[in-house]
Amino acid sequence: MFKYGFILIAAANFMGAFSLVAQDMDIITPHKYTDPAKKPQYEIPSSCRYTTSRHLAGAPDIVYYLSKPKVESYPIAILCTGSTNRNTIGSVIHFHRYLLQEFMDLNVGVVTVEQWGVDGSTVQVEESMHHYTWSQRLQDHIGVIKKLIGNRPAGWNGKLIFLGASEGGPLITALTIRYSDITLATVNWVGAGDWSWREQLWTFIKNMKKNAPWWVKVWDWMPRWMPFSSEIPKNRQEYDACMDVTMVNPCADKEFLGMTYLYHADALQWPLVEYDKIKTPYLVVAGAQDSIIDSCDAFVCKMRQAGADITYMRIEDMDHYVRNRPDIVTQSFTWLEKILKG
């Protein structure tokens, strides 16, 4: 699941534009889909839908979903999905449902946060893309956590767990540091990286070209002056020039490799990880066939040097898609269960 990439629409994540209708129901039901392009329609229980203000003039409220286990006291897991784009954007409810049963089995509540412009079946593509950045996603999750702390759900013990996939990885790392005093554990699926966004994206491009079918290589070879030539940079110099343009003009009405200039400019300024501030048991899951595996290795190495409590599941025969490996999902929750049992 979950390619940082967004260059290839097929690499976009658990998201999708599907019709969702809210109505009164008791609980959100678990569901494991096998094809991310064919997620079923789902009626979102209104009793599980919540909102909180962004505190920005004219901004819509943040929409989030909460599922509670049937126990007197429980922690809450905040789930952060991978990247999306204008062709794949949809409700986070599918990600919520995909992992819901595993968390319910551990008596853990689940919270997922819709991105700007999405409210179940209502998907405002342009509105969403004009506000879609790592920083905005982080601020929305912080806003929801503040709401939870200020209006504590019945039974919540005040403790948090974070699980992030792909682009969700940097978000949960930042959240883990920010809320270290109340965080029990963090699970990072194919989203741990030490490199900057500039380096990770370029590595992905090189890997994509190397493994692309012949027709993509021909497309990439075509000179820029030819009709329908590829926008993918042909070399590092051209790539850096394109990325520099996004920094100079961080607008939302121009795109590079499927994402807005605003998105790239924001990601390029994302701060490096402060490893010494990670105080929570932390699981990293990565596939050795993933283009960012070297960045992930560096992340784990620096975590260990900082004395962090880190577990590394480096899967030799896996790429970027944990969704395709139910055995790895199971192992991740076995690790989490051990942490929760102390």
Tens digits of residue pLDDT in 318-331: 999 898 899 999 99
d(CA 162, CA 339): 13
Residue in this structure with the two tokens 């699970």, named with its chain if needed = 187
pLDDT recorded at residue 16 = 38
Q: Using pLDDT thresholds of 50, 70 and 90, give the confidence band for residue 290.
A: very high
Average pLDDT for 279-284: 97
Average pLDDT for 59-65: 97
Check: CB of residue 170 under 8 Å from CB of residue 86: no
Number of C-beta neighbours around residue 73 at 10 A: 11
DSSP state at residue 185? E
Which CATH code fits 9-195+281-340?
3.40.50.1820
Tens digits of residue pLDDT in 162-205: 999 999 999 999 999 999 999 999 999 999 999 999 999 999 99
Of 82-86, 149-153, 156-160, 263-267, the least confident: 82-86
What are the boundaries of each domain within the chain? Answer: 9-195+281-340, 197-268
d(CA 224, CA 280): 49
Q: Using pLDDT thresholds of 50, 70 and 90, give the confidence band for residue 121.
A: confident
Of 164-168, 225-229, 274-278, 299-303, the least confident: 225-229
Nearest to 257 by CA among 297, 200, 301, 296: 200
pLDDT recorded at residue 36 = 67
d(CA 282, CA 67): 23
Residue 334 structure tokens? 């076995």
pLDDT recorded at residue 1 = 41
- Percentage of the chain beyond pLDDT 70 is 91
pLDDT recorded at residue 10 = 36
Average pLDDT for 109-123: 94
The secondary structure of 193-223 as a DSSP string is --S-HHHHHHHHHHHHHHHS-HHHHHHHHS-
pLDDT recorded at residue 209 = 83
Q: Residue 313 phi/psi, 5° resolution? A: -105, 95
pLDDT greater than 70 at residue 9 = no
E strand or H helix at 161, and its extent?
Answer: strand 156-165
Nearest to 121 by CA among 202, 176, 34, 46: 46
Nearest to 55 by CA among 153, 126, 144: 144
Average pLDDT for 111-127: 94
pLDDT recorded at residue 228 = 73
pLDDT greater than 60 at residue 3 = no
d(CA 208, CA 236): 14
Tens digits of residue pLDDT in 213-235: 777 777 777 777 677 777 889 89
E strand or H helix at 315, and its extent?
Answer: strand 310-315
Instruction: State the alpha helices, DSSP H only, in the chain.
Output: 93-105, 125-129, 134-150, 168-178, 197-211, 214-221, 236-248, 261-268, 293-305, 326-340
